Amino acid sequence: MNAPSPARFAVVHRLARRVRVVSPLLAKNPERCYILEILLRKRPEIRHVRAVPEIGSLALHYDPLRLPEEKLLATLDKLLANLDVKVPKAAAAEPVTGPAQECAVAVEGMTCASCALLVEMKLKQDPRVKKASVNYAAGTASVEGALGRDEVSAIVRRLGYTPQPMDTLAQRRLVVEHEREQLALARRRFNTATLLAVPVAALGMAMHRSRAMRLVEFALTTAVMFGPGAEIFRKARMLARQRAANMDSLIAMGAGAAYLYSLPGLFQRRHHVYFEAAASILAFVLLGRFLEERARGKAGEAIRKLIELQPETATLLRDGRELVVSIDQIVVGDMLRVRPGERIPADGEVVEGYSSVNEAMMTGESLPVEKAPGDPVIGGCLNGMGSFTLRVRAVGANSVLAGIVRLV
């Protein structure tokens, strides 16, 4: 190989399909690493990218038949050159004192891995955050630092995404229900965009110069942009206010440019119009998002089945009366009545009564387990023929079932 050595990094390890480099431009710079990851993952020849900002390391798994190593290194050098922009340093943030806490929120509205990286990057820029991780597949953000859920939600909301609490199983159930609504909404948006975009595409391929037909194209394309595609432009606008960008920004720029360029063609017949391009771009993007929402829904089926194991209500014993209350109103120390055939609402200890409980969800044992006063019971398990009273020992995120859901 007589290729010139790259100027902005050094190759420290190479295999047939893998190369690892170290660059001083990436050292101690997580934001630059995330941006570089986003740019490299756009290349189909690059299968996996892993950056370690602490040492400025970047590992790339690629296809040498489609992308030779010399071309890969040259591309990487050009990207690092574009990222090597001198930005005025902001004033050093004052150290934040306070107890560190962990919180997690569901992030709705992420449409690609770039969205997850953007949210994670913005969270890590906050001096109060020690660790932050955003899982695109699960649609969650986990943060450890000197800030609470409200502050984390505010950061996510400024980027144009919708945060939802998910500490308890009831809150997770609401998130799951909203995911189903999002799938139905994605289907409606795609169907509407397709019905409007197909006539526009047909008229565009006809290469006509009829003013009446152009007005029809304009009307249908406008309906697509301000109807099913309005959410894309809304997110792009909110990100632009934060001086950030993601895939929505590129889609908005492409469709918006084609739409605006075509407007003079309504009055000048010699001016070309590209309304079909704008409408088709939005329709295809909405198709991709519908298919993605459906795939994510199938992937989360196991979590939904676990969440459905917890009942939504419980029978609370208070002052000698039985009250049916929401599961969110149960606190540690409450006394609950469990009747035959009901699911146990919370983790606790039997204080009165005898029964057999099916604990197959926890142990896999098909035979019911006998329960007597003093024995522990686990929320979500199915009670047998007996009836008993239990004292609650754990609720919400501290329950066994919630821990299983977090692991899944």
Q: What confidence score (pLDDT) does residue 281 get?
A: 95
Residues 299, 359, single domain; the answer is: no
pLDDT digits (tens, 9 = 90+) for 17-33: 999 999 998 888 877 88
Do 180 and 151 sit in the same domain of this protein? no
The pTM of the full predicted model, rounded to 2 decimals, is 0.65
Rg over CA atoms, the chain: 28
Question: Regarding predicted confidence, which is higher, 83 or 199?
Answer: 199
User: What are the tokens at 169?
Assistant: 């199983």
Residue 18's domain comprises: 10-84
pLDDT of the residue at 275: 95
CA 96 to chain centre: 28
Asked whether residue 363 is domain-assigned, the answer is yes
Task: Write down the pLDDT at residue 92.
Answer: 45
The answer to whether residues 184 and 265 belong to one domain is: yes
Q: Is 57 a domain residue?
A: yes
Pairing type for strands 313-318 and 321-326 reads: antiparallel
The pLDDT mean for the chain works out to 86
Q: Residue 42 falls within a domain, yes or no?
A: yes
Q: Do residues 298 and 368 share a domain?
A: no
Do 247 and 280 share a domain, yes or no?
yes
Give the residue, 82 or 67, on which the prediction is more confident: 67
Q: What is the pLDDT of residues 303-339, one digit of tens each?
A: 777 777 888 889 999 888 899 998 888 999 999 999 9
State the residue for tokens 């740019």. 39
Q: Which of 109-123, 231-245, 376-390 has the lowest mean pLDDT?
A: 109-123
CB 120 within 8 A of CB 75: no
pLDDT in tens, 89-129: 444 445 555 677 888 888 888 877 778 888 888 888 888 88
Quick one: 252 and 295 in the same domain? yes
Note whether 318 and 382 are same-domain residues.
yes
What is the β-pairing status of strands 335-338 and 162-165? Answer: unpaired
**Structural domains of the chain, count:** 4
Residues 38 and 79 in one domain: yes
**Higher pLDDT, residue 90 or 260:** 260
Distance (Å, whole) CA 188 – CA 126:
37
